[in-house]
Amino acid sequence: MTTLADPLVRLDRISKHFGEGETRVDALRAVSLEVHPGEVVALLGPSGSGKTTLLNVIGCILDPSSGSMELDGELVLKDGAWLRRDLKRLRLDKIGFIFQFHNLIPFLDATDNVALVLQLAGADATTAHERAIGLLKYLEVDHRRQAMPAKLSGGEAQRVAIARALANKPRIILADEPTAALDSKRAAIVMDLLRRVAVEQQAAIIAVTHDEKIFDRFDRIFSLRDGWLESETNSLQTA
């Protein structure tokens, strides 16, 4: 059983290459890291450094070439081979995803966008609707619960997207440029909400970002270059 001291994400020498021979590209090279409950960490690096590839491996979307991985106390990958046959279920059970663009379904209101995830996981309509309302309230956007995505501001839509990511109570949240489309004020609100989720729900949040205005919101920052994990920085502050 995972305790507060145990990492929710543990990577051991994760590597990923595309192609073979002269066309081979090494996107990740023996990356090892741990992220614990309550932490909000960032993946930084120039374009092509391996950030998004690493996020997709952690999200069980991309098959690594080698290495092992534990998620929420479960060994899910060993020596480059998945130990789970149903990766879709694994993602549904353990991981929430947040993207740069909210990707809300345009013909469903805010509540139904969140409730749909719960229904796909097997919840009945009433239970799904009640939890969706509760999450929207938790993220301080329940006053917009009947609004269609086109009527939401950028910050409101991103909060609905966070509610959707939390629907099945995952303890691992993966965010790909979650504030890139927001101004400074709305970006700060979103990051403060993610911090609240990490602390109150003892979740691990891993974000790929280039957004310098939020660097001070992370506990640790991992820097990648050419597939290598170059450095780890605590509480990076910008000038």
Beta-sheet strand order (sheet of 74-78): 25-35, 9-18, 66-71, 74-78, 81-82
What's the length of the chain? 239
Of 24-33, 193-202, 226-235, highest mean pLDDT: 24-33
Percentage of residues of the chain with pLDDT beyond 90: 45
Question: Is residue 141 classed as helix, strand or coil in its secondary structure?
Answer: coil
pTM: 0.85
Gap between the Cα atoms of 209 and 77, Å rounded: 26
CB 96 within 8 A of CB 86: no
Mean pLDDT calculated for residue range 216-234: 87
141, pLDDT greater than 70: yes
- Model confidence band, residue 238 (pLDDT cutoffs 50, 70, 90): very low
9-108+172-234: CATH superfamily: P-loop containing nucleotide triphosphate hydrolases (3.40.50.300)
The pLDDT tens digits of the residues spanning 21-45 come to 888 888 999 999 999 999 999 998 8
The pLDDT of residue 235 is 56
- Can you read off the two tokens belonging to residue 132? 């969706």
The pLDDT tens digits of the residues spanning 161-184 come to 888 888 888 899 999 888 877 778
* Other residues' Cβ atoms within 10 Å of the Cβ of residue 131: 20
Q: Where are the domains of the chain?
A: 9-108+172-234
